[in-house]
């Protein structure tokens, strides 16, 4: 009896060698299990549209010029920024922020809002993992805000608990008490993940979006006057504005953590933002991005995509069959 490949080749012999070979490869390209998995794979474009609609609907309900844009970028960032290249621990795989300890880390305060907001999207697209959904929300937020297209691929899986989370929160702090200490801390955190100085500056450019909240981080205010628009404005303001320690808020003494404000008192910078113009190497990149927004967009897209893939072993695409 002829096996399946022989019968298939015999039926297509009259079509010529090239056609027969192509047809045979098509037969063996997917196993039944792989074909079923392929059929059930989530549509990235469909999920992206659902997230974009969510951002737009939420912004319309708020009606105050704010949106979930910055919060989704922060969610994607914090879901990924726990990675350590030294031991491979942490990263975006697992959707671990759903569980303690990550859900309770002070650095993740307020991100329950973002995770809850995404639940209707998860219900509409149950085939996507939480890990993919959380990171994809940041991609959509950047793109919908006018930023660059971010390379993104599915393949993150969900964990059943937070047992595999890092024992200590490795996310960056806004202030380490001194310029030298904060500068070193920024480098330590990003170098641990495998980023260089230029990538560090590019990633911090995400502060063009969103704002700080006193009931979450303790800090207050937006970085720019266009907090739902992705641009190089964050860098321009860093270089061109006069930044001074915040002393008052709404006519009363400021009692929050140390931060900086512009001449209007309406914009803010964190101590970790200020090191970008205080450190000579960082400042070179900041000044480049002020002059060349396209360079910033290109670098950000590459660095953000890299960040979102930290700790993920994407499945290799290979044939399921063997001839031996």
Q: Is the dihedral of CA 317, 126, 117, 61 positive or negative?
A: positive
Q: Give the single-character DSSP code of 310.
A: T
Backbone angles phi, psi at 46, to 5 degrees: -70, -40
SS3 state of residue 141: helix
Chain CA centroid to CA 122, Å: 18
Gyration radius (Cα) of the chain, Å? 24
Contact 156, 132 (CB under 8 A): yes
* Identified catalytic residue from 78, 105, 220, 243: 78
Catalytic residue among 77, 220, 223, 243: 223
Catalytic site includes residue 125: no
Sign of CA dihedral 311, 84, 208, 60: positive
| DSSP β-bridge partners for residue 268 | 261
Beta bridge partners of 158: 94
Residue 105 annotated to the active site: no
Strands 252-253, 268-269: pairing kind: unpaired
Rounded CA separation 135/73 (Å) = 8
- The DSSP bridge pattern shows strands 211-212 and 248-249 to be unpaired
CB 185, CB 170: distance < 8 Å: no
Peptide bond connecting 101 to the previous residue in cis, omega within 30 degrees of 0: yes
Buried b / exposed e along 20-35 (16+ C-beta atoms within 10 A): beeeeeeeeebeeeee
What single string gives the DSSP state of each residue in 153-188?
-----B-SSSTTS-SS--SPPS--SSHHHHHHHHHH
Any idea which residues carry the catalytic annotation?
Answer: 78, 223
């Amino acid at each position: 009896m002829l096996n399946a490949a022989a019968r298939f080749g015999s039926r297509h012999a009259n079509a010529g060698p090239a056609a027969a070979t192509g047809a045979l490869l098509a037969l063996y390209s997917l196993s039944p299990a792989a074909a079923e998995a392929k059929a059930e794979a989530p549509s990235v474009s469909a999920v992206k549209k659902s997230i974009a609609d969510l951002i737009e609907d939420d912004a319309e309900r708020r009606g105050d010029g704010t949106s979930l844009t910055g919060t989704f970028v922060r969610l994607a960032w914090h879901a990924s920024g726990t990675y350590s290249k030294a031991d491979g621990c942490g990263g975006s795989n697992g959707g671990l922020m759903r569980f303690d300890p990550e859900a309770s880390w002070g650095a993740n305060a307020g991100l329950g809002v973002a995770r809850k907001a995404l639940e209707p999207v998860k219900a509409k697209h149950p085939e996507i993992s939480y890990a993919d959904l959380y990171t994809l929300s940041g991609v959509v937020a950047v793109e919908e805000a006018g930023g660059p297209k971010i390379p993104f691929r599915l393949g993150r899986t969900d964990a059943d608990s937070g047992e595999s989370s890092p024992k200590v929160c490795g996310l960056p702090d806004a202030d380490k008490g001194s310029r030298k200490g904060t500068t070193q801390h920024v480098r330590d955190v990003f170098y641990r993940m495998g980023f260089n100085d230029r990538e560090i500056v590019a990633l911090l450019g995400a502060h063009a979006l969103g704002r700080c909240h006193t009931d979450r981080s303790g800090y207050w205010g937006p970085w720019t006057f266009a907090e739902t628009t992705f641009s190089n404005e964050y860098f321009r303001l860093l270089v061109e504005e006069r930044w001074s320690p915040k002393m008052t808020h709404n006519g009363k003494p400021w009692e929050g953590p140390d931060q900086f404000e512009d001449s209007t008192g309406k914009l803010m910078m964190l101590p970790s933002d200020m090191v970008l113009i205080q450190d000579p190497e960082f400042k070179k990149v900041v000044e480049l991005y002020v002059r060349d927004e396209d360079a910033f967009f290109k670098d950000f897209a590459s660095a953000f995509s890299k960040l979102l893939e930290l700790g993920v072993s994407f499945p290799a695409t290979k044939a399921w069959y063997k001839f031996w």
